[in-house]
Amino acid sequence: MEVFAAGPTRVMGILNVTPDSFSDGGRWTDLDRAVAHGRELVAAGAAIVDVGGESTRPGAERPSAAEELRRVLPVVEALAAEGTVVSVDTMRADVAAAAVAAGAAIINDVSGGLADPEMLAAVAASGAGYVTMHWRGHSFGMYDQARYHDVVAEVCAELASRVEAALEAGIEPASLAIDPGFGFAKDYSHNWTLLAGLERVEALGYPVLVGVSRKGFLGRPGGLDARPTDRDAATVAVTALVAARRVWAVRTHEVFSQVAAISVAERIRAAGEQG
């Protein structure tokens, strides 16, 4: 799938149409405001807008499928009609199918198909791109599953099993990307160890999505735990580091600075190739 083609790191802008997301819950629940914010993300340099109707913050309760559809579909339809590449952050097969019918190009499933046994077949039938994330359980109990002997090895093994399941369901290899799931069933040290071992995730052979935007583990070294937005600078630092590796994409709330960080990484790369 073209959106997963190799090249400089892309920015996936987050558009949460939820009342309870950890960073921006409730800001974009109105349709007009949500669509306007999607346009702002694109204007700032986002290559993809990721629309989510279910919060996956720790402890979050799930909305009904009907409510998730009500939140997501009008935004997807409006942005896709304007030519925006839209991904939809969902764990439900019926939401995924409806979103692709409304114009979404990618399904971004944080559960990797584990939350809904119909998901992989639905994505395969739709022809959409699919991002499969490392996941061990829903938000209300995810930290009970944060037990590892070797977090990088176990994340890679579990991701590989989800890739195999996706392929067996009929999803094309070129339509697959992977996400190591920073913050999901991982404690503070797990996240840093996983970030340091990112090359082992890349070695699985699929485009990698990195989603660390404003997450709590970024705030602690500088004592910036007061507000999620205080972690934007640390998010930029991570983007610069992973963009130097040319990961496929970073998923982020704030786009402009991430685009600048990627530009710096690409200029250094170009200068090194010339000299």
- Our answer to whether residue 215 is catalytic in this structure is yes
DSSP 109-175: ETTTTSS-TTHHHHHHHHT-EEEEE---S-GGGGGGG---SSHHHHHHHHHHHHHHHHHHHT--GGG
Residue 99 CA to residue 69 CA, distance in Å, equals 8
The CA-atom distances, in angstroms, between 232 and each of 8, 11, 139, 140, 235 are: 21, 14, 23, 25, 5
Distance in angstroms (rounded) separating the CA atoms of residues 20 and 222: 26
Q: Which two tokens stand for residue 114?
A: 């584990």
Which residue is catalytic, options 92, 186, 215, 231?
215
- Pair 233, 258: CB distance under 8 Å: no
Considering the candidates 92, 162, 231, 251, report the single residue annotated as catalytic: 251
Q: For 21-37, give the DSSP string.
A: -TTTTTTT-SHHHHHHH
Check: CB of residue 202 under 8 Å from CB of residue 247: yes
* Active site amino acids: 215, 251
